Structure 1
């Protein structure tokens, strides 16, 4: 299935592959030998017409099996169709009875055009070849049975190539849909694995931050006032890590920890989306604002989807300010 649906093969209905050219050249050689052994080459005029027909068929085979991922150009398709029709007329013009294999290769060329995707050129060429066979049979006084026998091989070839083109289209569409589903599943699996890795790394960082203090709580006597302050600072840092895992800045973390030690209530409401990590200049600007707060509360929250951040400072007595920073850390306004 994977081999059948390679773009370089299916765009040309499989006829762009080297094996298709060799197969049609083999058919051309067998058809030529069969005509010679069947006595179709008789007399000077017959030999000349047959030679021209064989040459045209060879050119048609080379054209219709052009190594390409697409259908033939209009010029190449018309040339192939013309070669098939003229070759059929020349073969039918030779004296003698018409055999079922007389115009097999011209019919194959017309059918191959349809299989390749040059449907209009192949249909016209096929119709003209069939008309030529029917007319030649009538001129020679053939019966309806003779006409049916002479037309059977070309009609079968044309029908098979129509079915091939239609069937190949269904196969390619189904395989592309399957590969699209596989690609979406792979992307989802990759995203899930990346999220799991990030979550594991986050838990590892939290464990490293909290393990020493937790051991102190488990092993030692009651915590001192200073140690209780550190517990509150650590609890706030863990909460910030869980809410905003990609906001990793030593400068900002230190500024927030120092503010909490001063008794400032710092709330990180910076819930991140799937975009890029915040700009370092933005984190430094936020750290500077937090460091300037002696008491009260500070709330850091995202202002919009463009990456802007609002820092709200309150002194606890009804006063305060609201500073808007853009994604690069530049102050856009203070209220």
Structure 2
């Protein structure tokens, strides 16, 4: 669609350029210097083709070279046309073709985002037409139309650029809304998974507790503590858990080890492959751990993703009580 509109606009510009050149060729009075008239027409046609087509396939903005050529043409063509005719013939219909022609070039420059060049060309046209035929006569013979074209072109360019900016802004907003919706859907799925896991872990224990009216056996109380720990792990450190880690934590607790999990964003920014490698390494460390208490912490650090600390009971000092210290790097070694 965009290419079709550009093709139509290009065809219209070239069509009008040929029309104005044809008006200049169709003289009814022999110029005193026909070579100047022909030179003006040739220069205008070459400039029109250059300004309309140069770089149009790559960018709307006209290259600087064609813009300079257009400005030079706006200075040269009125003088060439006027000097090729006697003074009393400079207001003839075929002699005023340059007014509309230069106005068209100024419009092309503005449409192709050379605004300063377009307005300078219009100013040069007004000065030249005033010198060669008088300001009032120039306005009567088409200068008003050229000025109107340039003003309308400027307004259309401003409105078009604003519409493009608004469209891009709306597209960005739509992308942000889509991303937010996707995030919410992911979070909803995670909440559903957590709820299902909570029901699967705590449901049987709660059902048994209600049925027994709180009168539980030692094994049932132990199972209840395991269920509580599992739910706490899911709330505090879901990013650290996979099936292997869950199984290792459960086995450690069944051995009598107290396991605490803290996720403070240590896994943020890692790709899923590396994150899964970290979880597998964590599971292996937990399987070997024989401490009375194990603390798993994923803090925000540039080098370390997860730290595992094991503490033994009965140490004389805090440092002596640490019997396990393992750091898992963010980057694979």
Quote the Cα distance in structure 2 between the aligned partners of 1:329 and 1:63: 57
Quote the Cα distance in structure 2 between the aligned partners of 1:179 and 1:316: 60
Larger displacement relative to structure 2 (214-223 or 248-257): 214-223
Q: Which residue number corresponds to residue 151 of structure 2?
A: 159
Q: Which residue number corresponds to residue 242 of structure 1?
A: 235
Quote the Cα distance in structure 2 between the aligned partners of 1:35 and 1:329: 76
Q: Which residue number corresponds to residue 141 of structure 1?
A: none
Deviations 1:180-217 (A, max 9, x none): 33333332222222222232233334444455656666
> 1:44–1:201: structure 2 CA closer, same or farther, 3 Å change rule?
same
In structure 2, runs of 5+ residues without a counterpart are none
Q: Which residue number corresponds to residue 7 of structure 2?
A: 18
Note the C-alpha offset of 1:227. 3.9
Q: Return the match for 2:69 from 60, 65, 79.
A: 79
Q: Which residue number corresponds to residue 257 of structure 1?
A: 250
Quote the Cα distance in structure 2 between the aligned partners of 1:207 and 1:88: 88
User: Matched residue pairs, number?
Assistant: 313
Q: TM-score, normalised by structure 2?
A: 0.77
Deviations 1:17-56 (A, max 9, x none): 22221111221233344456xx535337666544443333
Counterpart of 2:256 in 1: which secondary structure? coil
> 1:134–1:225: structure 2 CA closer, same or farther, 3 Å change rule?
same
> 1:194–1:53: structure 2 CA closer, same or farther, 3 Å change rule?
farther
Deviations 1:197-246 (A, max 9, x none): 23223333444445565666677897543343233223322221222222
Whether the 8 Å contact between 2:130 and 2:138 is mirrored in structure 1 is yes
| RMSD across aligned positions (CA) | 3.5
Q: TM-score, normalised by structure 1?
A: 0.77
Quote the Cα distance in structure 1 between the aligned partners of 2:295 and 2:159: 64
Q: Which residue number corresponds to residue 43 of structure 1?
A: 30
* Mapped pair 1:148 → 2:139: yes
Quote the Cα distance in structure 1 between the aligned partners of 2:331 and 2:148: 75
Higher helix share: 2
Whether the 8 Å contact between 1:296 and 1:315 is mirrored in structure 2 is yes
Counterpart of 1:117 in 2: which secondary structure? coil
Whether the 8 Å contact between 2:261 and 2:297 is mirrored in structure 1 is yes
Note the C-alpha offset of 1:325. 0.3
Counterpart of 1:263 in 2: which secondary structure? coil
Structure-to-structure mapping, 1:120-139, within 5 angstroms: 120-138=116-134
Q: Which residue number corresponds to residue 320 of structure 1?
A: 321
Whether the 8 Å contact between 2:239 and 2:263 is mirrored in structure 1 is no
Deviations 1:162-195 (A, max 9, x none): 3334343433333333333333333222222222
Whether the 8 Å contact between 2:14 and 2:52 is mirrored in structure 1 is no
* Mapped pair 1:191 → 2:180: no
In structure 1, runs of 5+ residues without a counterpart are 139-143
Q: Return the match for 2:162 from 138, 153, 170.
A: 170
Q: Return the match for 2:105 from 90, 104, 109.
A: 109
Q: Return the match for 1:266 from 238, 253, 259.
A: 259
Quote the Cα distance in structure 2 between the aligned partners of 1:61 and 1:26: 10
